[in-house]
Structure 1
Amino acid sequence: MPIFTVIGLLLTALACLCLYAASPNQKLRASPWPLWPARAAAVCLLVAGWLAFAQDMRYLAATFAFGTTLMLAFSVLPYIGALIHVRRTH
């Protein structure tokens, strides 16, 4: 797998983590991250993620991979948070 694709996957997943961790309903931590710094970091990571995808792919394919990664990360993060919350309380 080309290195920029891996970097794009990681940056996009980290951006989703920043957005999720700043949510008041998140279960990853006891308290959510500060809202504005997390959003600013997420926007920077999202832009950098798409640009990394665009280094190895055409723009349409980069946008598709970027969107698919967003959907996957936003689907999996609440389940990871719930699992961590259950393990923390038991």
Structure 2
Amino acid sequence: TLIGPGGLIDANDHRIRWTRPDGTVVDEAQMSDSHDHESIETSLIADSIVASLTPAFRRAPIDMNATLAMAQAAVLSSRTGHPESPGTILDMLSRS
């Protein structure tokens, strides 16, 4: 769950929902499958395999430093309630 000035984003393995601060739903997506968890997991694995084999979905290698800095900035922002920049995190890492 992420909370910010634009509202709340709640995500789990089966659904993601964005609601405004007043509670109105901006966007929502759900797995359109039964409650059969094995089918959902199978669908997710199949989608990942198809995406990895589709040239249009292949991208350059992941920049792990930038990715981890983005994740750390998100965690820090959610803990402090203040926006944090991935660039600031990268700067802190380069000084150590």
TM-score normalised by the chain length of structure 1: 0.28
More helix by share: 1
Say which structure, 1 or 2, has more relative contact order (CA 8 Å, 6+ apart).
1
**Higher Cα Rg: structure 1 or 2?**
2
Q: Which has the higher strand share?
A: 2
